[in-house]
Amino acid sequence: MQDPVNDVVILGSGPAGLTAAIYTARANLKPTLIEGAQSGGQLMITTDVENYPGFPNGIEGPPLILEMKKQAERFGTTFIAGDATEVDLSARPFTIVVDGEKTLRTKSLIIASGARAKLLGLESESRLMGRGVSACATCDGFFFRGKEVFVVGGGDTAVEEATFLTRFANTVTLIHRRNTLRASKIMQDRAFRNPKMKFLWETAVVDILEGEFGKIGGLLLKNLKNDQTFVAPADGIFIAIGHEPNTSLFQGNLTLDERGYIITKPSTTQTSIVGVFAAGDVQDPTYRQAVTAAGTGCMAAIDAERFLEAESHIVIPTAGIVMPVDRFLP
Q: So which residues are the catalytic ones?
A: 136, 139-140
> Under DSSP, is residue 132 helix (H, G, I), strand (E, B) or coil?
coil
The H-or-E segment that residue 196 falls in is: none
Amino acid at site 33:
L
* Residue 135 touching ligand NDP (CB under 6 A): no
Name the minimum Å distance from CB 135 to ligand NDP.
11
Residues 282-321 close enough to bind ligand NDP by CB under 6 A? 285
Residue 178, interface with ligand NDP (CB under 6 A)?
yes
Give kind and range of the element (H or E) at residue 52: none
149 SS3 class: strand
Q: How far is the CB of 314 from ligand NDP (least distance, A)?
A: 41
| Closest distance of CB 258 from ligand NDP, Å | 9
Residue 262 phi/psi, 5° resolution?
Answer: -70, 130
Strand partners, 199: 174
The region, left, alpha or beta by phi > 0 then psi within -120 to 50, assigned to residue 30 is left
Q: Is 157 in the site for ligand NDP (CB under 6 A)?
A: yes
Residue 160 is a binding residue for ligand NDP (CB under 6 A): yes
**Least distance in Å: CB of 297 to ligand NDP?**
22
Which CB atom, from 23 or from 150, has the smaller least distance to ligand NDP? 150
Contact between 242 and ligand NDP (CB under 6 A)?
A: yes
Find the part of the chain contacting ligand NDP (CB under 6 A) among 85-93, 176-184, 291-299, 300-308. Answer: 176-184
Complex with ligand NDP: residue 177 or 222, whichever CB lies closer: 177
Q: Which 3 state secondary structure label does DSSP give 266?
A: coil
| Cβ-closest position to ligand NDP | 155
- Residue 72 or 133: the one with the smaller Cβ distance to ligand NDP is 133
Which of 22, 241, 262, 301 touches ligand NDP by CB under 6 A?
A: 241
The residue range among 50-58, 95-103, 237-245, 274-282 that interacts with ligand NDP, by the rule CB under 6 A, is: 237-245
Which residue, among 150, 134, 114, has the nearest Cα to 14 in the 3D structure? 114
Which of residues 15, 40, 153, 236 is near ligand NDP by CB under 6 A?
Answer: 153
Q: How far apart are CB 307 and ligand NDP at their closest, in Å?
A: 31
| Shortest CB 116 distance to ligand NDP, Å | 12
Which long-range contacts (C-beta less than 8 Å, at least 24 apart) are formed by 286-289? 288/115, 288/243, 289/51, 289/138
Nearer to ligand NDP by C-beta: 220 or 308? 220
DSSP output for 172-213: EEEE-SSSS--S-HHHHHHHHH-TTEEEE-SEEEEEEEE-GG
Where does this chain touch ligand NDP (CB under 6 A) — which range of 79-87, 131-139, 152-160, 249-257?
152-160
Applying CB under 6 A, the site for ligand NDP has a residue count of 16
- Dist CA 303 CA 283 (whole Å): 15
Instruction: Specify whether the CB–CB gap between 139 and 40 falls below 8 A.
Output: no
Q: How far separated are the first and last CA of the chain, in Å rounded?
A: 36
Looking at 30, 177, 190, 306, which residue binds ligand NDP (CB under 6 A)? 177
Q: Which residues of 277-287 are buried (b: 16+ CB within 10 A; e: fewer)?
A: bbbbbbbbeee
Alpha helices (H) in 98-202, listed in sequence order: 123-127, 137-140, 156-165, 185-193
Is residue 182 involved in binding ligand NDP (CB under 6 A)?
yes
Residue 298: closest CA among 111, 85, 60, 22: 22
| Site residues (vs ligand NDP, CB under 6 A) | 120, 152-158, 160, 177-178, 182, 241-243, 285
